[in-house]
Amino acid sequence: MTVAHAVEQLEVGELRAAHTLFATAIGRPPADDAAWAASSRLGSPDRVLGVHAGGALVATATSFASELAVPGGSVLPMAAVTRVAVRADHTRRGLLTALMRAQLDDVAARGEAVASLRASEARIYGRFGYGVATRGRSVRVRADPTLFRPGAPLVGTVRLLQRDEIVPVLRDVHAGIALRRPGGISRTDGWWAATTTRRVEVDREYVLAAVHTGPDGDDGFAVARPGDASGPEHSLDVTDLHAADVGATAALWRFLLGVDLVESVQARLRPLDEPLELLLADPRACAVTGNEDETWLRLVDVPEALAARDYGAADPVLIAVHDGFLEENSGVYRIAGGAAERVGPLGGPVRPELECTVDALAMAYLGDRRPSELVASGWWTAPEPAAVPRADAAFATAGTPWCGTYF
C-alpha cells in the first residue's frame, strides 16, 4: 500500500533531533553539545526537511547552497544534499522518495540548476536522477621522500600551519583554486565550521596542516592525521589535499612522505589523474587500493545545466533526455556550435540520435564518462550510431573532473 508522506520544513527546535536521527542511521553516536554547535552550522536551518509519524521525527534530509564548476569555467548554483536518513523501523515505505521529491522541488524553486550528494550506498540515488559524475581513487604510498624521480618538479616551499592559522589559510587557498577544475565546489563557512574547525578546535584531534607557496603565492594545502594506531605501520591519513598544479601536488606529497617516523601515507578519493606514479622513481611505491564514486550529480534544470558548460568542436548531435522525476526536463536537446538547447519534446517531430536518462546524462556532464562508453555499456542508447563519435567530441573535456570536498 502506498501512503502519502507529509514532508515539512523542520522547526529550529527539531534540528538537533534531525541530526541525531542521521547520526544513528549511519551508526554514529549522537553529537555532544560542542560537536552539535559546530555541526549545526553545516546546513541552512530553512533547508532541513522531515517526515513525522506517531508524533516523532522519522525521516530527514538537508541541503545547503554551494556552487559547482562545470567544463569551460562557468559556475552553477548547486544544492549540496546531505544528512539523509530514515529511521530504521520506517524504511522501504517511500519516505526517502517523498523527501527527494520535496527537496528537488525546493532546490528548483531556489533556482539551483544542480544538486549533488555523496552516497552511503551506490544503489539508492539513481532512481531520483543522480548519476556518478566524479570518482576518486584511494592510494597508499610508501613514505620516503627519496623515492621522487630526480626530474620531478621541485618548486616553492611548504610551511606547517599553527592551529589558529589552519582554517583561515586553507579557506583562502581553497577558494582560489577549487573552482578551476570541473567538479570543484565552493565551501561555505558552515562547511568549514562543521568539518575542519570542528576537528581542530572541538575534537582537538592531532592534525598536521601545511600550505604550499609557489611562485604566485599560496597554491595548495594538505591536512593529515595519524592513521590507525593499531595497524602495523606508523602512517598518516590525508583528509584534505588541494593543489593548483603538479608542482604544488608534488611538493605537498614530498612533505607528507618526508615526515619523520611515518612509514606510509594514505589518502581516499584522490583525483584519478593525480600523477603520483609519474613523480616517483619507483612507481610501485604508490599502491592504488580503491576506486570510488565521489560526486553524485543531479541536473535539476537540464536546459540551464546543458547551456552552462562548454562543448568541444563537433558536428551537431541530437540527444533525448528522459527524466521520470522532474518531467519538465524531458525533451530532445541539440548540441551544436559549442552550445546546447532544447529543440523539442520527447516523441515529437525532432528524431533523437542518442537517448539517455537524466542520471546517465550526469555521468557524462562533467567529463567523467564518454558517451561512447555509456552507449557501449547500455547506459545510453544510439538509434543513430554515427552520432556517437560526435557526442564524444562534444562532451570531451581537457582534464578529469574531481571535487575533493566531502559533505
- Grid cell, residue 384, equals 543513430
Q: Contacting ligand COA (CB under 6 A), which of 123, 162, 260, 313? A: 123
Q: Is 304 annotated as a binding residue?
A: no
For residue 127, the one-letter residue type is R
With contacts defined by CB under 6 A, how many residues of the chain interact with ligand COA? 18
- Name the segment binding ligand COA (CB under 6 A); options: 86-94, 151-159, 242-250, 262-270: 86-94
Q: Is 11 annotated as a binding residue?
A: no
Q: In Å, how far from its chain's centre is CA 26?
A: 19
Least separation in angstroms between residue 349's CB and ligand COA is 34
Identity of the residue, 123 or 284, whose beta carbon is nearer to ligand COA in the bound complex: 123
* Beta strands at 56-69 and 48-53: parallel, antiparallel or unpaired: antiparallel
Q: Contacting ligand COA (CB under 6 A), which of 15, 18, 23, 25? A: 25
Q: Pick the closest to residue 120 from 86, 143, 166 (CA basis).
A: 86
**3-state secondary structure (DSSP) of residue 138:** strand
Cα distances from 382 to residues 52, 166, 256, 311, 322, in angstroms, run: 45, 50, 47, 20, 14
Which of 64, 125, 255, 333 is flagged as catalytic?
A: 125
Q: Contacting ligand COA (CB under 6 A), which of 7, 69, 119, 356? A: 119
Q: Is 40 annotated as a binding residue?
A: no
Q: Is 97 annotated as a binding residue?
A: yes
Question: How far apart, in whole angstroms, are the C-alpha atoms of residue 331 and residue 128?
Answer: 17
Q: Is 95 annotated as a binding residue?
A: yes
Least separation in angstroms between residue 120's CB and ligand COA is 3
Question: How far apart, in whole angstroms, are the C-alpha atoms of residue 337 and residue 331?
Answer: 19
Q: Pick the closest to residue 141 from 243, 254, 220 (CA basis).
A: 254
26 touches ligand COA (CB under 6 A):
yes
Q: In Å, how far from its chain's centre is CA 333?
A: 26
Q: Residue 90 — φ and ψ, nearest 5°?
A: -125, 15
- Annotated active-site residue 22? The verdict is no
- Annotated active-site residue 125? The verdict is yes
198 touches ligand COA (CB under 6 A):
no
Q: Is 120 annotated as a binding residue?
A: yes
Identity of the residue, 172 or 292, whose beta carbon is nearer to ligand COA in the bound complex: 292
89 touches ligand COA (CB under 6 A):
no
Residues at the site binding ligand COA, with contacts judged by CB under 6 A? 25-26, 84-86, 91-97, 119-121, 123-124, 127
